[in-house]
């Protein structure tokens, strides 16, 4: 029997899934995974920071917030040609999705946004699934991005509604939900997940999953990040996230949102190949890859290391989507 898509989960149900003995949980998640996805395929995505640092927000995990003294160098919006050259390279090394991230609080209707629109068109023309994460969006801005060919918009909830104010004071949880709704209305697919290791309780984690899993339509993509501890941020001394917590979180996301792509994202560099294998067993079916240090503000494993890992595990990069 194929598990059904449900949008009426309760916190207790989700908590009961998460609290199962680990082997039961992973077995259940792996079963659901096989009903909805090809278990040998992993989508390989490339993330490029197109505008880095100097962000006015105070997200306490983020090295790009201007108010924290971190080693991240501020970089203005990259030229379109540079971005397209990165996208071309990403395509050649096996990525099928290209995500452009900007350290902005929100999108403004200015020349920079016009340039991002050109980038979206250019990446789309290369035949890559194009994704952006640019901060808050109005409905009109979302429509412009959709018309330019944007496939997905990333906007993470990061944590539970209750814990949100402990992590970010410069915007509200509701602002996040609003942007996600604007993205939906424009017909762009939604990429939204969160971070574990911010000091939240297990209940907060489940509450975040509840918000995602009770949306009228589940996000097509759900990134599960482990906090990448950045020196100079308020959370730099938080304990390292336990790999089993990542496995539990991924498995629970897989079970409650069976059709979504579950993305193993930040913090992956601190995980061994075996730990990552557990995450794939638990239903993760997408990773971000990048040239070590250069593409991302927090390092990710290099492209060839990732391809070697997939090969070791008998997994394959998912073939390109057709436009
Ligand atoms: N400024 C935009 C925003 O906040 O939506 C887009 C870029 S922001 C870097 C995208 C996401 O990266 C955040 O929502 C957060 O989930 C994740 N992120 C940022 N720093 C992180 C860190 N140190 N560890 C884990 N995830 C992080
Ligand atoms: Fe970082 Fe985005 Fe928060 Fe800015 S809004 S501090 S870039 S996570």
Per-residue pLDDT reduced to its tens digit, 270-320: 899 999 999 999 999 999 886 543 334 565 666 678 889 999 999 998 875
Which residue minimizes the CA distance to atom 2 of ligand 2?
103
pLDDT digits over 256-284, tens only? 999 999 999 888 888 999 999 999 999 99
Residue 284 CB–ligand 1 contact under 6 Å: no
Q: What is the pLDDT of residue 302?
A: 67
Element spanning 137, H or E? none
**Ligand nearest to the CA of residue 132, numbered in listed order:** 1
Query: For residue 191, which of 161, 234, 224 has the smallest C-alpha distance?
Result: 224
Q: How far apart are CA 237 and CA 240, in angstroms?
A: 9
Task: Tell me the residue range of the domain where 185 lies.
Answer: 13-310
Averaged over 141-160, what is the pLDDT?
97
- 10 Å Cβ neighbour count for 34? 12
Q: How far apart are CA 157 and CA 272, in angstroms?
A: 27
The answer to whether 45 is a known catalytic residue is no
Looking at every residue in the chain, the average pLDDT score rounds to: 93
Q: Strands 41-51, 286-289: parallel, antiparallel or unpaired by DSSP?
A: parallel
Q: Is residue 8 part of a domain?
A: no
- Residue 238 — pLDDT band, cuts 50, 70, 90? very high
Reduce the DSSP state of residue 158 to 3 states and report it: strand
Residue % of the chain over a pLDDT of 70: 94
The Å distance, Cα 40 to ligand 1 centre, comes to 28
Element spanning 47, H or E? strand 41-51
Residue 253, token pair as written in the block: 């996301």
- 10 Å Cβ neighbour count for 60? 19
pTM equals: 0.94
Q: Is residue 101 part of a domain?
A: yes
The Å distance, Cα 56 to ligand 2 centre, comes to 8
Q: What is the pLDDT of residue 297?
A: 55
Q: How far apart are CA 195 and CA 156, in angstroms?
A: 8
- Residue 26 — pLDDT band, cuts 50, 70, 90? very high
Q: What is the pLDDT of residue 182?
A: 98
Pocket probe mutation, ligand 1, options 266, 297, 300, max atoms within 8 Å of Cβ: 266
Element spanning 91, H or E? helix 80-92
Q: Is residue 322 part of a domain?
A: no
Q: Is residue 4 part of a domain?
A: no
CATH number reported for the structural domain that contains residue 153 in this entry: 3.20.20.70
Q: What is the pLDDT of residue 28?
A: 98
pLDDT digits over 205-235, tens only? 999 999 999 999 999 999 999 999 999 999 9
Q: Is residue 318 part of a domain?
A: no
pLDDT digits over 89-127, tens only? 988 888 888 999 999 999 999 999 999 999 999 999 999
What is the Cα 217 distance to its own chain's centre? 17
Q: Is residue 33 part of a domain?
A: yes
Q: Is residue 290 part of a domain?
A: yes
Q: Is residue 288 part of a domain?
A: yes
Q: How many domains does the chain have?
A: 1
Q: What is the pLDDT of residue 180?
A: 98
């Amino acid at each position: 029997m194929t598990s059904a898509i449900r949008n009426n989960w309760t916190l207790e149900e989700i908590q009961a899934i998460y609290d199962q003995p680990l082997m039961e949980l992973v077995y259940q998640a792996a079963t659901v995974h096989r009903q909805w996805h090809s278990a040998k395929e992993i989508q390989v995505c490339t993330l490029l920071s197109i505008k880095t640092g100097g962000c006015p927000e105070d997200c306490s995990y983020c090295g790009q917030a201007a108010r924290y003294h971190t080693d991240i160098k501020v970089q203005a919006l990259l030229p379109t040609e540079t971005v397209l050259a990165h996208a071309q390279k990403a395509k050649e090394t096996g990525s099928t999705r290209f995500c452009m991230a900007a350290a902005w609080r929100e999108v403004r209707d200015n020349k920079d946004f016009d340039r991002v629109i050109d980038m979206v068109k250019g990446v789309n023309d290369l035949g890559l699934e194009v994704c952006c994460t640019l901060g808050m969006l109005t409905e009109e801005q979302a429509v412009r991005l959709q018309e330019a060919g944007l496939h997905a918009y990333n906007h993470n909830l990061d944590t539970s509604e209750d814990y949100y104010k402990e992590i970010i004071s410069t915007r509200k949880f509701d602002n996040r939900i609003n942007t996600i709704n604007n993205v939906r209305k424009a017909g762009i697919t939604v990429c939204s997940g969160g971070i574990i290791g911010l000091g939240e309780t297990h209940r907060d984690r489940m509450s975040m999953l509840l918000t995602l899993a009770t949306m009228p339509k589940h996000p097509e993509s759900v990134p599960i990040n482990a906090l990448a501890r950045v020196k100079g941020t308020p959370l730099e001394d938080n304990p390292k996230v336990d790999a089993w917590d990542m496995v539990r979180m991924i498995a629970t996301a897989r079970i409650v949102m069976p059709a979504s792509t579950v993305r193993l994202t930040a913090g992956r560099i601190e995980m061994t190949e075996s730990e990552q294998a557990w995450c794939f067993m638990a239903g993760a079916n997408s990773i971000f890859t990048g040239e070590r240090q250069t593409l991302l503000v927090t390092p990710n494993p290099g492209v060839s290391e990732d391809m070697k890992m997939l090969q070791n595990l008998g997994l394959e990069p998912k073939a390109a989507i057709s436009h």
